[in-house]
Structure 1
Amino acid sequence: MNTKYYQPAADGVWTGRIDGSGSEVQRWHQRVQPVYLPEEALPVLRPSQQGVVLLGFACDEGVRRNKGRTGAAQGPAALRRACANWPVHFPAQQLLLDGGDIICPDQNLEAAQEALSEAVQRVLQAGYLPLLLGGGHEITYGHARGIYRFFQQQALGLVNFDAHFDLRIPGPEGPSSGTGFWQLAQDCRQQHRPFHYLALGIQQHSNTAQLFRIAGELGVQHLPADAFHRQDSTALNAAIDQLLQQTAPLYLTIDLDVFAGPFAPGVSAAAANGILPGGVFMEVYRRILRSGQVAGIDIAELNPALDMDNRTAKLGAALIFEAVMHRLG
């Protein structure tokens, strides 16, 4: 791994309330173990153990290229702070590690994404679940490509909670936060792999007619935000079940701009009529987590500079808590 694009998590980010050292009163900041990915081997998991590695992608170069509002590079630190006081509800033998951050110090997004892919492969090789903290949605290409490389010819399913398809064709500046799934589709075509992509929460006013055409040509399955608003999860569950039957494993990404602005104001493109983070969404999210097929998860597009009362960071942290509990609890 190129250490130019890596840094350990900042000192002091894992701090918070201390109610004691006993297992029943511990909080995440008392249990998270830092690991320096370029040099340290991850602890070997015993047959009875599960492990999660938190890995930041402190980059918003793709957002800049996509003409969005930058600031998501500070997202991983904000998510760690929001997670620090979560109570520990998983057994002592289960491991929660912090693998530091992939960074993009020179606007070389492609190199940062390659470093991210390598880090994800390392985490998977050690038997851990990579749980990534974004960062712009350019996190998708680096993260999913690492999963594709690890699982090689297996039929990977891609699930994206997002108002946007992220199927843009790269422009003069190259790939961006809006091109990740288009890039993955091209890789699949070149490698003669199926492209199984399910987008949930799509907003018609957030995607051009060209993007809907590209989605159709690529066979992308998608359901609109209205599917969540109707409080009826039948169509959503049917789409997820179909993907689960066709693929294994799954890559799951959540772009926080899929949620309604009052719940997620701290994103580059806030949605006035986005989906609600409880109810139907949580039912669908937990259904995916319970499948046992998830090989990698990321939370994307948190921009702390645009957040209000840390609402978006707290929402992202709550989603991280759910994912960790389903893996370690």
Structure 2
Amino acid sequence: MYKPGNKSIWKGRQDPGSIRDVWHQVVEVGDLNANVPAGINFLGFSSDLGVKRNLGRTGAVEGPDAIRKAMVNLAIHFDDKMRLTDVGDVVVSGDQLENAQKEFARYVTSIVKNGSFPVLLGGGHEISYSHGKGVLDAFPDKKIGMINFDPHFDLRQYPQGAHSGSWARQLFEESESFHYLPIGINEAVNIASMFELMREKNQSFISMEELLGESEEDLFARIDYFINQMDKVCITLDLDVFSAGIAPGVSAANPYGALPHHIKPLMNKILQSEKVVSFDVAEMSPKYDDGRTAKLATSFIYDVVNSTQTNRVD
């Protein structure tokens, strides 16, 4: 079920006489059923049914609003041509995850085809099935590459229905145009058949050991090799790629994860390619958070938003 944007959440501190200093002062709200706004569109996927089906700890259903609240006081360092619009949420009703995913994908397709940039707020990582499908449907004749910062491949089977750990397998099964680069893979939490599937699909990955230990130059080269083969690129940031010490508010806390300085340079390198058409952040679970995880998520959203201005051709 779709709910349009709600201005009431976009409130925060404001200095006397301030008009355009922080995000809550400029974020508009929209209704995708009326029109697709130009610029950045914040669209939430209010769901943790996929996490529940994947036997994870629930709470991600509240993720989109937690991220919004952490964004309200971000400082503005973009020009007045940049437009930010909160276009609301798709909310999973009852057991209707698959229907909600299809609905969300249609909205992603509409945003991308309009030339706008979707910043997608999760919610469980089942958001990325809809994210990927939406972009694939928008560019049916293009090679679409999805880069996933995540310790998990998310290639699990789904005999009882889609879930947060199955989205990449679903996209492989549905489209030959889908290509995949996971970054931060932990061997201990991925069964052997997933590595075999990656080999069968002729896909590469970067392990957590490589992420933490290889030189930035070598990591850049591996990412460039992937991007150079793609027409369009999507990014998904699963917050459980980070160490639980800095990201406790996730569905699956990670005892062996990355720190922001491991991810930020790689993210910025990808954004500089000018092929990125969409971004999602997943597995934000506020019930386990003290504010740290939400603020970490927004620091990456901040970079994504500002990069769209840097790369924009007016």
Q: Could you tell me the TM-score, scaled by structure 1's length?
A: 0.91
Tell me what 2:169 maps to.
Answer: 182
Tell me what 1:34 maps to.
Answer: 29
Q: 2:74 aligns with which of 69, 80, 86?
A: 86
| Amino acid of the structure 2 residue aligned with 1:273 | Y
Tell me what 2:305 maps to.
Answer: 324
Once the two structures are TM-superposed, the CA of residue 16 in structure 1 deviates from its matched residue by: 0.3
Whether the 8 Å contact between 1:141 and 1:183 is mirrored in structure 2 is yes
Whether the 8 Å contact between 1:117 and 1:145 is mirrored in structure 2 is yes
After the TM superposition, which segments of 4 or more aligned residues of structure 1 sit over 4 Å from their partners? 20-23
Tell me what 1:15 maps to.
Answer: 11
Asked whether 1:148 is paired with 2:120, we answer: no
Alpha-carbon spacing, 1:325–1:20, altered in 2? closer, same or farther (3 Å):
farther
Q: 2:285 aligns with which of 293, 303, 321?
A: 303
Once the two structures are TM-superposed, the CA of residue 11 in structure 1 deviates from its matched residue by: 4.9
Tell me what 2:233 maps to.
Answer: 250
Tell me what 2:275 maps to.
Answer: 293
Q: Which range is displaced more, 196-205 or 120-129?
A: 120-129
CA distance in 2, matches of 1:21, 1:138: 43
**Where do 1:43-82 residues align within 5 Å?**
43=37, 51-82=39-70
Once the two structures are TM-superposed, the CA of residue 211 in structure 1 deviates from its matched residue by: 1.6
Once the two structures are TM-superposed, the CA of residue 146 in structure 1 deviates from its matched residue by: 0.6
| Amino acid of the structure 1 residue aligned with 2:57 | R
**Where do 1:118-267 residues align within 5 Å?**
118-171=106-159, 173-188=160-175, 193-230=176-213, 232-267=215-250
Find the residue that maps to 2:105 and give its secondary structure. helix
Once the two structures are TM-superposed, the CA of residue 194 in structure 1 deviates from its matched residue by: 3.9
Find the residue that maps to 1:98 and give its secondary structure. strand
Q: Which range is displaced more, 128-137 or 212-221?
A: 212-221
Once the two structures are TM-superposed, the CA of residue 21 in structure 1 deviates from its matched residue by: 5.3
Superposed CA deviations along residues 240-280 of structure 1, whole A, max 9, x for unmatched, are: 111111001001101000001111111111111101112x3
Find the residue that maps to 1:110 and give its secondary structure. helix
Whether the 8 Å contact between 2:129 and 2:168 is mirrored in structure 1 is yes
Once the two structures are TM-superposed, the CA of residue 22 in structure 1 deviates from its matched residue by: 4.8
Whether the 8 Å contact between 2:5 and 2:31 is mirrored in structure 1 is no
Whether the 8 Å contact between 2:156 and 2:194 is mirrored in structure 1 is yes
Find the residue that maps to 2:205 and give its secondary structure. strand
Whether the 8 Å contact between 1:227 and 1:233 is mirrored in structure 2 is no
Superposed CA deviations along residues 10-43 of structure 1, whole A, max 9, x for unmatched, are: 45211101124556x52100100100112x2234
The percent of aligned pairs where both chains have the same amino acid is: 38
Q: 2:295 aligns with which of 310, 314, 317?
A: 314
Whether the 8 Å contact between 2:142 and 2:177 is mirrored in structure 1 is no
Asked whether 1:268 is paired with 2:262, we answer: no
Q: Could you tell me the TM-score, scaled by structure 2's length?
A: 0.95
Whether the 8 Å contact between 2:183 and 2:211 is mirrored in structure 1 is no
| Amino acid of the structure 2 residue aligned with 1:86 | L
CA distance in 1, matches of 2:89, 2:35: 16
CA distance in 2, matches of 1:262, 1:272: 8
Find the residue that maps to 1:319 and give its secondary structure. helix
Which 5+ residue runs of structure 2 have no aligned equivalent?
A: none
Superposed CA deviations along residues 65-105 of structure 1, whole A, max 9, x for unmatched, are: 10111110100000000000001111112111111001101
CA distance in 2, matches of 1:20, 1:244: 46
Which 5+ residue runs of structure 1 have no aligned equivalent?
A: 46-50
| Amino acid of the structure 1 residue aligned with 2:199 | G
Find the residue that maps to 1:12 and give its secondary structure. helix
Asked whether 1:106 is paired with 2:102, we answer: no
